[in-house]
Structure 1
Amino acid sequence: MPELPIPASSKGSKEAGLAPLLLTVVELVRQLMEAQVIRRMEAGLLSEQELERSAESLRQLEAQIINLCDVFDIDLADLNIDLGEVGTLLPKPGSYYPGETSSHPSILELLDRLLNTGVVLQGTVDLGLAELNLIHARLQLVLTAKPL
């Protein structure tokens, strides 16, 4: 199985540990939530209060991500992992707007479209260590932005 690149701090700080990877996941989720807020706003599904609350929450979360990047000496741009032929994890700033196509799609755009359309995934997962399968799971995941 090919190894995925782990974002590193710009200065290679060993003290950062898993922080770059965790911040990458949080930033991906933040941008997915932002895209869903935009979609719901444009569809007229959010009240003025809901829009203000969600915008403020997204601003605060972004500020916390930036702050933690400073604390761990991580360049914010390093959170965008280049996945080779697949593309990048996140779109370049200002290059993606929900519902519009872009010239260089990212994984975030794919996930946003899947959330908007809805998809059901099924499979099995075996988790373990030291060549021992310790946890066996059969999963069915319904991924959608719409209420079930």
Structure 2
Amino acid sequence: MNTTAPRLDLAAGLARSLNGTANLAQLLGAAAKPVDLGADGANGLAQLVLTLLNVVQDLLERQAIRRMERGNLTDAQIELLGGALMRQAQAIADLCQQFGIEERDLVIDLGPLGQVGGDNF
């Protein structure tokens, strides 16, 4: 009796998936072609992605503060973490500048629950 789990053939699964995608594209015809978002759509997508990155950045900062307050990090780890978070924040600011998005536009207002992604997070 063979007790080992069956080996998944990833290449075959990927080939089936790609074949299914190609068949679907053929069935849909013109409807399956990419949609041109234009400058406004691309900017909206960039703002959405940067907003999500900003929220993740805020969560990482809050977690780092919690870990520092609990004494779970060494001085060297604190330095590394602080540097990484500063570089990440600068990268988000640089991308905002490239897309002409102000950092205040990255705040999500949840109404009575408050704001996410800004200094008030």
TM range (shorter): 0.5 to 0.7
56, 66, 74: which one aligns with 1:47: 74
- List structure 1 segments (4+ residues) > 4 angstroms apart after TM superposition: none
Residue 49 of structure 2 is aligned to residue 35 of structure 1: no
CA displacement at 1:86 relative to structure 2: 2.9
TM-score between both structures, scaled by the size of structure 1: 0.51
TM-score between both structures, scaled by the size of structure 2: 0.62
Percent identical pairs in the alignment equals 38
20, 42, 48: which one aligns with 2:47: 20
Q: Deviations over 1:90-126 (max 9, x none)?
A: 34x3x5xxxxxxxxxxxx5xxxxxxxxxxxxxxxxxx
Aligned residue for 1:99? none
Residue 83 of structure 2 is aligned to residue 56 of structure 1: yes
SS at match of 1:45: coil
| CA distance, structure 2, for counterparts of residue 79 and residue 90 of structure 1 | 7
| CA distance, structure 2, for counterparts of residue 28 and residue 17 of structure 1 | 16
How do 1:1-148 residues align onto structure 2 when only pairs under 5 Å count?
14=40, 15-91=42-118, 93=119, 95=120, 108=121
| CA distance, structure 1, for counterparts of residue 113 and residue 64 of structure 2 | 26
Q: Paired residues, what number?
A: 82
SS at match of 1:18: helix
Amino acid aligned to 2:83:
E
Answer with 1 or 2: which has the greater Rg. Answer: 2
Calculate the aligned-residue CA RMSD, in Å.
1.6
> Unaligned regions of 5+ residues in structure 2, if any?
1-38
The structure whose residues are more often helix, as a share, is 2
The structure whose residues are more often strand, as a share, is 1
CA displacement at 1:84 relative to structure 2: 2.3
| CA distance, structure 2, for counterparts of residue 18 and residue 37 of structure 1 | 29
Q: Is the 8 A contact 2:55 2:117 kept in 1?
A: yes
| CA distance, structure 2, for counterparts of residue 39 and residue 86 of structure 1 | 22
CA displacement at 1:88 relative to structure 2: 1.6
CA displacement at 1:89 relative to structure 2: 1.7
